[in-house]
Structure 1
Amino acid sequence: MSTFGTIFRVTTYGESHGKSVGCIVDNCPPGLPLVEADIQTQLSRRRPGQSDLTTPRDEKDLVTIQSGTEFGITLGTPIGLLVPNQDQRPHDYSETDLYPRPSHADWTYLQKYGVKASSGGGRSSARETIGRVAAGAIAEKYLKLAHGVEIVAFVSSVSNVAMPFIQTEDENAFPEGFWEFLNAITREEVDKDPVRCPDNEISEKMRKRILEVKAAKDSVGGTVTCVIRNVPLGLGEPCFDKLEAKLAHAMLSIPATKGFEVGSGFKGTTLFGHQHNDPWVKKENGILGTKTNNSGGIQGGITNGENIYFRVAFKPPATISQAQQTATYDGEDGTLAARGRHDPCVVPRAVPIVESMAALVIMDAVMIQQSRQSAASLLPPIPNLPPAMVGAVQSREQKKIRTE
């Protein structure tokens, strides 16, 4: 499917070497100030050709708002976003007429549809993510204005070069200072280096590793870590639509992803319960919070008010210029050396894609929860409730008073 979301719905379209790519955004709240510049910042962070670490494909990725706004304000109607493809080179892919590229989607698309895009990856190309990033920028602006939500992602590892918190052997899930780091990290710090790793020493090692594999006509993978701050309480649905499940769905739908973990993740499996549990404490604002955050801001699939953080694993890009022994579509042995332009490592450009998909998940969850709260606020008070249920009723009454 090419549509994501329940209420805040995004449909992306376009192939990697077609005329354009883009998306339709449905159910964006009316009255949101929105112009192309609000969307362009994230698209420019995602675009190819930013440095010698990325594909040389020269695309400006300039977005045009086609519908859904007037005088810079959203109307509540579908928002159409279009980005033209300007530097297509379909002739670079003539080899794929004979060979399905190893670990790419050429063969699986052909089996699914009986036909496939003749050049590039078609819909499986990372170019499809332009629509996601454009839509995510809209969601992010609403979340910032309405709730103060902040979303920051950064490169946390490239190959076996990783930031210290990943490699720690500490008995706790994360070393001292990690929480303060997540509270303070900004996009400006992340973007100071083209690798998009905020640790200068580690970033330089990552850069060298990427350039080494590029020179060898090879590719390398890595991970992106993301933190979401100031998340409203109560987002996420029981059972199948838990917030971490929606985040996993979103992240693993990004091309080249192979893994997802939230909170302590796989490291948490090495801890004891007394080490991993997050004790409740009264925060300065008078609301309950957790002393630690091994849960990653989500408990029972529902946000608890703490920072959400997670990590996404990206495999080495499948398209490489190195000659590979493989087989033709007919099963004959042969050698393929792809000529298409590609990233030696996708993680630096994946940072805004991860942020955008996170924004889409939170935006949809906010609108689902707001619809529930709005419906509940119209009901009369329920008398004689046990203390554990009073908070929900008080919240309902407060909302009713604010509405009146």
Structure 2
Amino acid sequence: MSTFGKLFRVTTYGESHCASVGAIVDGVPPGLPLVPQDVQTQLSRRRPGQSNLTTPRDEKDLVHIQSGIEHGVTLGTPIALLVKNEDQRPHDYSETDLYPRPSHADYTYLEKYGVKASSGGGRSSARETIGRVAAGAIAEKYLKLAYGVEIVAFVSSVGKIHLPAHVAPPSLAPLEGEEDNDDVQDALSEEFRKLIATITREEVDKHPTRCPHPETAERMTKRIIRAKEAQDSIGGTVTCVIRGVPSGLGEPVFDKFEAELAHAMLSIPATKAFEIGSGFRGTEVPGSRHNDAFVRRADGGLATKTNWSGGIQGGITNGEDIYFRIGFKSPATISQAQETAQYDGTAGSLAARGRHDPCVVPRAVPIVEAMAAIVVLDQLLIQNSRKTAASLLPPITTLPPTMVMPTKRKSTN
């Protein structure tokens, strides 16, 4: 459906070439200071036409807040967010009357609904993500003020060009008979661990690729330009870190925190992969080296010496940084002629018109941050409702002390 979240609920609407796109956001706590610029900052980071690496579609993406706020303060009622489509060109998609674009949603949307938008894929367009980004900006404002949460995403690869710090150098393939050798390197490099602990949006936005490593960013630029000049496209990955999330969030067993994150991230257009913490590299490291041992914090609580878990254990946040990576495929819409079939099965050649991104990952960064904020706030509201209900009961005296939280820690208590 078009709604995400349980207590913090976001419903997006609109297609690429209709009058407007936007969202209805329900469950925003009352009393939150909020002005249009709080939302506009992230929308401007997402909008097209920012550089020669993105689609030239000229949209200002100015947000209009329709309800839920008076005198710069949220009322606790639904907030309606509207962004007008000003540079739509539905005639650019006339070919989709005959051809479903390869790897796009034209065919599947028609199969599902029996009718399609003029742009073919309709709601599968990246224009739909405007509502997500607007809603995420509201969630992020609350998280920052109430808990000091920080969310930063950045581009970690484009095609075969990877951020050097992302993973430790892969070990050599074992020779025959050496598969039992457990002498492997850490799943993630020390440089990468330092990066996710300190990276800021200001650093990310210094380069149009949104890669925080200048030399790699220039190589990524050349790769994207090469795809663009060939009327082709290329994919990549976005890495995101969430710092300052309280412990205790996540709803076992089917709504584990990482499961909610995966749901949110894989709902973003063009996503094809998700990994959290040490990810696939962690499968190559023995448990004796991969386990996150506990240590005492200065405030008397517990922290983990390492964080291969990515801030989540048993589906519940443990107070450490949460970090994950999302894979985005090469954009399906390209101007290069492709041999394919029409809706009636007749073979033919399709060279799609229209304006599209040769690589989506630079503009996907604020979308990833938005969906992360929505998940965190939704889980916080759920956990806080549980804590409030429990706080109204008499103190627990019938259980052994080892079964009850002994002290307040960095949690939602």
Question: What TM-score do you get using the length of structure 1 for normalisation?
Answer: 0.96
Conserved? CA contact 1:257–1:315, under 8 Å: yes
Conserved? CA contact 1:16–1:120, under 8 Å: no
Indicate the residue corresponding to 1:125 in structure 2: 125
Residue ranges of structure 1 left out of the alignment (5+ in a row): none
What is the rounded CA distance, in whole Å, between the counterparts of 1:177 and 1:305 in structure 2? Answer: 21
Deviation string, structure 1 residues 106-128 (Cα, Å, up to 9, x no partner): 00000000001012531000100
What is the rounded CA distance, in whole Å, between the counterparts of 2:163 and 2:296 in structure 1? Answer: 32
Conserved? CA contact 2:248–2:412, under 8 Å: no
What is the rounded CA distance, in whole Å, between the counterparts of 2:236 and 2:167 in structure 1? Answer: 14
Indicate the residue corresponding to 2:18 in structure 1: 18
Indicate the residue corresponding to 2:273 in structure 1: 259
Which one of the candidate residues 275, 278, 281 is aligned to 2:292?
A: 278
What is the rounded CA distance, in whole Å, between the counterparts of 2:341 and 2:20 in structure 1? Answer: 32
1:284 is displaced (CA, Å) by 2.5
**Counterpart amino acid of 2:397?**
P
Indicate the residue corresponding to 1:189 in structure 2: 203
What is the rounded CA distance, in whole Å, between the counterparts of 1:181 and 1:217 in structure 2? Answer: 34
Indicate the residue corresponding to 2:138 in structure 1: 138
Conserved? CA contact 1:263–1:296, under 8 Å: yes
1:391 aligns to 2:391 (yes or no): no
Indicate the residue corresponding to 1:222 in structure 2: 236
Which one of the candidate residues 172, 175, 178 is aligned to 2:189?
A: 175
Deviation string, structure 1 residues 162-219 (Cα, Å, up to 9, x no partner): 0123352261011123222211100000000000000011111101000001000000
**Counterpart amino acid of 2:194?**
E
Indicate the residue corresponding to 2:174 in structure 1: none
1:155 is displaced (CA, Å) by 0.1
What is the rounded CA distance, in whole Å, between the counterparts of 1:322 and 1:60 in structure 2? Answer: 28
Paired residues for 1:246-395 under 5 Å? 246-391=260-405
Q: Which moved more, 1:128-137 or 1:118-127?
A: 118-127
Paired residues for 1:59-208 under 5 Å? 59-119=59-119, 121-169=121-169, 171-208=185-222
**Counterpart amino acid of 2:149?**
V
Conserved? CA contact 1:377–1:399, under 8 Å: no
**Counterpart amino acid of 1:183?**
A
Conserved? CA contact 2:257–2:317, under 8 Å: yes
Deviation string, structure 1 residues 292-349 (Cα, Å, up to 9, x no partner): 0000000000000000000000000000000000000000000000011000000000
Identity level (%): 73
What is the rounded CA distance, in whole Å, between the counterparts of 2:93 and 2:191 in structure 1? Answer: 48
Conserved? CA contact 2:384–2:412, under 8 Å: no
Query: Runs ≥4 in structure 1, deviation > 3 angstroms?
Result: none
What is the rounded CA distance, in whole Å, between the counterparts of 2:214 and 2:400 in structure 1? Answer: 54
What is the rounded CA distance, in whole Å, between the counterparts of 2:404 and 2:98 in structure 1? Answer: 67
- Matched position secondary structure for 2:382: helix
1:231 is displaced (CA, Å) by 0.4
What is the rounded CA distance, in whole Å, between the counterparts of 2:303 and 2:127 in structure 1? Answer: 40
Question: What TM-score do you get using the length of structure 2 for normalisation?
Answer: 0.94
Indicate the residue corresponding to 2:173 in structure 1: none
1:234 aligns to 2:248 (yes or no): yes
**Counterpart amino acid of 2:22?**
G
- Matched position secondary structure for 1:146: helix
Distance 1:382 1:145, change over 3 A: same
**Counterpart amino acid of 2:156?**
S
Deviation string, structure 1 residues 264-290 (Cα, Å, up to 9, x no partner): 010011111111100100122321010
**Counterpart amino acid of 2:93?**
Y
What is the rounded CA distance, in whole Å, between the counterparts of 2:58 and 2:402 in structure 1? Answer: 58
Deviation string, structure 1 residues 235-261 (Cα, Å, up to 9, x no partner): 001110000000000000000000000
1:395 is displaced (CA, Å) by 5.1
Conserved? CA contact 2:167–2:188, under 8 Å: no
Indicate the residue corresponding to 1:44 in structure 2: 44
Q: May I ask how many residue pairs the two structures share in their alignment?
A: 398
Conserved? CA contact 2:100–2:120, under 8 Å: no
Residue ranges of structure 2 left out of the alignment (5+ in a row): 171-184
Conserved? CA contact 1:120–1:340, under 8 Å: no
- Matched position secondary structure for 1:177: helix
Conserved? CA contact 2:151–2:240, under 8 Å: yes
Structure holding more helix per residue: 1
Note the aligned Cα RMSD (angstroms): 1.5
